[in-house]
């Protein structure tokens, strides 16, 4: 963790390490190290949690400008009990010490498990702004039948859960964020299925993480990391994963045409929403639209009952011709409607998915 994106001097870098016995597992001590000179020297201390805390993931809630007080380090851990496991948040001061506070995000019943959390904090150097905090984790009735959940907060005092991350059985989950919240699309979560051969992505905002799309072109059999990638003001989903048998590593971002949206022509004179292609489709189709003026754009998909089933675009875009992909692999066959809203322009197309 680092606040180096906002400072050229005295950049603080932090490292969180779980102390683990080679045979008995975690010993109840989590170490916190901090350096201000890029690792040439450091200070450190540990906190005694006295608990079976697994898989610590951490992020920094930094203070800026005239804000008083120390930075705060948020550590999400998997707390294992006799017949269940929960996600809890440890809050540490930016200066390493033995002090910390605890907040439980879950309260699992017997034989239910929340596992391997990932945490991200939207880094904004705006004084007084409540920082957006996002935690993703696995959840299920056993370690081998888990899907996903996420939790989000403004400032860390109260948390809102969402248990509909995906219905796919998962092997791992990761989340990340971008400091630019304008236009949405600043939160991202990625997850691999139980066999770990496929990596999926959702990107959106707190409470609306957008449509699920498959991210990897090559098979994988292990964990992955993700990031929100920005190019010329447009946000994309980036994923790094290793190949089968840990052979080769793949970094996919704007090279994957179905991740994010793509501007193919910046010179247009009017608004337009074109018919999707192919149509009928199975299970994905491309929707083309064009914008003559920069502004907030919404492209959403609804079913026959008028229920929103996917958010393809929810951000600020520049003028141009764009393509977005709708993946209906998690939805039943039927008629769907795509609605584009941009400024005073509003249009709908009818799409048919036939599996």
Give the helix/strand (H/E) hosting 45.
Answer: strand 43-48
Q: Which of 54-63, 66-75, 127-136 has the highest mean pLDDT?
A: 54-63
- pLDDT of 289 strictly over 80: yes
Query: Contact at 8 Å (CB) between 148 and 164?
Result: no
CA distance 206 to 160: 9
Q: Reduced to 3 states, what is the DSSP secondary structure of residue 276?
A: coil
The predicted model gives 149-162 an average pLDDT of 89
Least confident of 100-104, 119-123, 162-166: 162-166
CA distance 348 to 299: 10
Q: How confident is the model at residue 259 (pLDDT cuts 50, 70, 90)?
A: very low
CA distance 29 to 19: 6
Q: Reduced to 3 states, what is the DSSP secondary structure of residue 231?
A: strand
Query: And the tokens for 220?
Result: 């994988």
Count CB-CB contacts under 10 A for residue 16.
Answer: 20
Cβ contacts of 104 within 8 Å, gap of 6 or more: 79, 86, 87, 88, 89
Cβ contacts of 223 within 8 Å, gap of 6 or more: 171, 172, 174, 192, 196, 241
Tokens 């990596």 map to which residue?
Answer: 199
Q: How confident is the model at residue 257 (pLDDT cuts 50, 70, 90)?
A: very low
Task: For each of the domains in the chain, give its residue range(s) and CATH number, in order of start.
Answer: 13-252 (2.120.10.10), 262-353 (2.60.40.1930)
- pLDDT of 217 strictly over 90: no
Q: How confident is the model at residue 126 (pLDDT cuts 50, 70, 90)?
A: low
The per-residue pLDDT for 197 is 75
Q: Is pLDDT larger for residue 145 or for residue 80?
A: 80
Q: pTM for the whole thing?
A: 0.70
CA distance 131 to 136: 17
- pLDDT of 315 strictly over 90: no
CA distance 5 to 189: 22
- pLDDT of 44 strictly over 60: yes
Count CB-CB contacts under 10 A for residue 182.
Answer: 12
- pLDDT tens-digit profile of 132-150? 899 999 999 877 788 888 9
Cβ contacts of 307 within 8 Å, gap of 6 or more: none
Name the residue among 350, 296, 290, 286 with its Cα closest to residue 324: 286
Tokens 């980036």 map to which residue?
Answer: 238
The per-residue pLDDT for 68 is 56
Q: Is pLDDT larger for residue 253 or for residue 38?
A: 38
Name the residue among 87, 89, 88, 136 with its Cα closest to residue 112: 87
CA distance 235 to 183: 10
The per-residue pLDDT for 196 is 67
The per-residue pLDDT for 179 is 84
157: Cα separation from own chain's centroid: 20
């Amino acid at each position: 963790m680092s606040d180096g994106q906002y400072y050229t001097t005295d950049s603080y870098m932090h490292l969180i390490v779980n102390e683990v016995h080679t045979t008995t597992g975690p010993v109840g001590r989590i170490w916190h190290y901090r350096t201000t000179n890029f690792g040439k020297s450091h200070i450190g201390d540990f906190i005694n949690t006295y608990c079976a805390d697994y898989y610590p993931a951490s992020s920094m809630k930094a203070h800026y400008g005239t804000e008083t007080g120390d930075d705060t380090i948020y550590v999400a851990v998997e707390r294992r009990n006799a017949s269940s496991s929960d996600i809890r948040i440890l809050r540490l001061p930016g200066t390493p010490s033995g002090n910390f506070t605890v907040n439980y995000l879950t309260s699992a019943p017997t034989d239910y498990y929340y596992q391997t959390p990932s945490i991200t904090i939207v880094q904004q150097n705006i004084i007084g702004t409540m920082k957006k905090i996002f935690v993703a984790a696995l959840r299920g009735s056993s370690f081998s039948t888990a899907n996903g959940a996420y939790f989000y907060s403004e400032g860390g005092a109260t948390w809102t859960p969402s248990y509909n991350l995906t219905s796919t059985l998962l092997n791992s989950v990761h989340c990340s964020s971008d400091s630019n919240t304008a236009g949405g699309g600043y939160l991202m979560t990625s997850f691999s299925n139980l066999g770990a051969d496929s990596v999926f992505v959702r990107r959106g905002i707190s409470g609306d993480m957008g449509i699920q799309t498959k991210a990897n072109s090559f098979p994988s059999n292990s964990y992955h990391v993700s990031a929100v990638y920005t190019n010329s003001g447009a946000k994309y989903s980036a994923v790094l994963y290793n190949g089968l048998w840990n052979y080769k590593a793949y970094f996919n971002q704007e090279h994957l045409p179905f991740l994010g949206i793509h501007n193919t022509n910046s010179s247009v004179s009017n608004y337009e929403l074109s018919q999707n292609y192919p149509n009928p489709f199975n299970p994905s189709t491309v929707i083309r639209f064009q914008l003559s003026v920069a502004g907030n754009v919404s492209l959403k998909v609804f079913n026959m009952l008028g229920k929103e089933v996917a958010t393809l675009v929810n951000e600020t875009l520049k003028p141009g011709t764009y393509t977005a992909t709708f993946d209906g692999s998690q939805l039943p066959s039927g008629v769907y409607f795509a609605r584009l809203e941009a400024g005073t322009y509003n249009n709908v197309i009818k799409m048919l998915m036939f599996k």
